[in-house]
């Protein structure tokens, strides 16, 4: 049994869906579970839909129509028969979405977000499943919400492993080709939950763990895991082999190729993870496994944009001690801030955070009651694993460094 995951870039149009089919035909597709993301930039488009629902209702239908038009074009490019059942199935999903907006009474943004955002995955997996059936790659379409169960921490739900294992073991026929959605799950009341942005990789790992899969392959538009994001760094190099530990470190610091939660369940059962190009399915790609080294061992660069750096000092210039730090972290937890770097001295404390839930102003107001507060928004956090002097100097060139922290294997630099 193996698990494949295809991201949005790999199925952004009809040619992408056809290429997915070619990958399956090239590599084989029996005993395979395929996890798919929403097509192209659909998740971003659905976020616009959600924003209009709350802030600009006159534009809601227009935003939904853009999503419908985009998917209908892909269907028309894939299916010659305009009476094919795929049209009806996709229309039913959009009808469900419209019904939710008409009937919803909850003002909770995070709840609404999770009920709406997943239609991208439901629609993409429906189109892909129907197309594969059409060309003779018979498959089962699975609603992932019937298999992965979580708590109700909307937008970043925690998996109930016992229930999930039970559902997957009892309901899933692993001997055939199955198509399902990434990113989504459901809570005890069967409301949709999500596993966090880019959570489709994690979905693949959850299924692999519960199925004792032989491997997981993430199909990307890059040849494998690179030592740097080519969008921000020149001359990125392919990493051929990575240990689980190293991959977890890279994911923790924000490497975008592998979702941070993906690796733990795979490591527990020593299931290898392959990252390969959907444009070259027979290429070697990158293997993440139980190896002890990074091959080749070169500096690895990671950047996280749009961070916020907060610097605190006590109002009376007393020491920042355990009691203060405990209170600061309680507030960071209360306002759901993701902490990426901390640095403290006798009378100051700095923290670089990701304001995922747009609670920054509330946090700052709370902190100002007990601390002097300065902050910088829209800063960039750079991390170099296996750094050397040349790598640091090249990174710092022409940048204003606001914070720098070195440990034995990692340097982190916050710049404006």
Q: Cβ-count burial of 376 within 10 angstroms (0-12 exposed, 13-18 middle, 19+ buried)? A: middle
**93 Cα distance to chain centroid:** 23
**DSSP class of 64:** H
Contact 181, 140 (CB under 8 A): no
Q: How far apart are CA 160 and CA 164, in angstroms?
A: 6
Sequential DSSP letters for 10-57? GGSSHHHHHHHHHHHHHH--TTEEEEE--STTHHHHHHHHHHHHHH-G
| Integer Cα distance of 14 and 21 in angstroms | 11
Residues 6+ apart with CB under 8 A from 199: 182, 183, 259, 261
Are 139 and 178 a contacting pair, CB within 8 Å?
Answer: yes
Give the C-alpha separation, 110 to 115, whole Å: 9
Q: In sequence order, which residues have a C-beta less than 8 Å from that of residue 316 and are 6 or more positions away?
A: none
> Residue 231 annotated as binding?
yes
Name the helix (H) or strand (E) containing 93: helix 85-103
For residues 67-98, one letter each, b for 16 or more C-beta atoms within 10 angstroms of the residue's C-beta and e for the rest, the string is beebbeebbeebbeeeeeebbebbeeebeebe
Annotated binding site for ATP: 231
Binding-site residue numbers are 231
């Amino acid at each position: 049994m193996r698990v494949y995951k295809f991201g949005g870039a790999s199925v952004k149009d009809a040619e992408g869906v056809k290429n997915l089919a070619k990958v399956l035909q090239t590599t084989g597709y029996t005993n395979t579970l395929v996890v798919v993301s929403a097509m192209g930039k659909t998740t971003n488009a659905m976020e616009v839909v959600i924003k209009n629902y709350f802030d600009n209702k006159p534009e809601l239908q227009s935003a939904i129509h853009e999503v419908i038009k985009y998917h209908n074009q892909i269907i028309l490019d894939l299916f010659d028969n305009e009476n094919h059942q795929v049209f009806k199935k996709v229309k039913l999903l959009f009808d469900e979405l419209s019904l939710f907006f008409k009937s919803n009474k909850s003002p909770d943004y995070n709840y609404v977000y999770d009920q709406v955002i997943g239609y991208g995955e439901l629609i993409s997996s429906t189109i892909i499943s129907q197309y594969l059936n059409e060309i003779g790659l018979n498959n089962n379409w699975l609603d992932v919400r019937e298999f992965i169960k979580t708590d109700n921490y909307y937008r970043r739900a925690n998996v109930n492993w016992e229930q999930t294992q039970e559902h997957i073991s009892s309901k899933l026929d692993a001997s055939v080709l199955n198509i399902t959605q990434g990113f989504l799950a459901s809570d005890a009341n069967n409301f949709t939950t999500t596993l966090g942005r880019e959570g489709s990789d994690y979905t693949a790992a959850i299924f692999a763990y519960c199925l004792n899969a032989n491997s997981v392959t993430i199909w990307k538009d890059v040849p494998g895991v690179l030592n740097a994001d080519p969008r921000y760094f020149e001359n990125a190099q392919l990493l051929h082999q990575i240990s689980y530990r190293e991959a977890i470190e890279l994911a923790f610091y924000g490497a975008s190729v592998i979702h941070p939660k993906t690796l733990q369940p795979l490591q527990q059962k020593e299931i290898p993870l392959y990252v390969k190009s959907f444009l070259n399915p027979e290429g070697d790609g990158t293997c993440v496994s139980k190896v002890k080294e990074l091959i080749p061992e070169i500096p690895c660069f990671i950047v996280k944009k749009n961070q916020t750096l907060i610097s605190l000092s006590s109002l009376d210039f007393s020491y920042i001690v355990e009691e203060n730090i405990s209170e600061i972290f309680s507030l960071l937890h209360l306002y759901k801030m993701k902490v990426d770097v901390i640095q403290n001295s006798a009378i100051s404390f700095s923290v670089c955070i990701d304001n995922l839930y747009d609670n920054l102003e509330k946090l700052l107001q709370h902190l100002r009651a007990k601390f002097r507060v300065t902050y910088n928004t829209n800063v960039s956090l750079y991390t170099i694993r296996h750094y050397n002097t040349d790598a640091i100097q090249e990174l710092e060139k022409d940048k204003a460094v606001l914070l720098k922290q070195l440990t034995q294997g990692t340097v982190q630099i916050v710049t404006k």
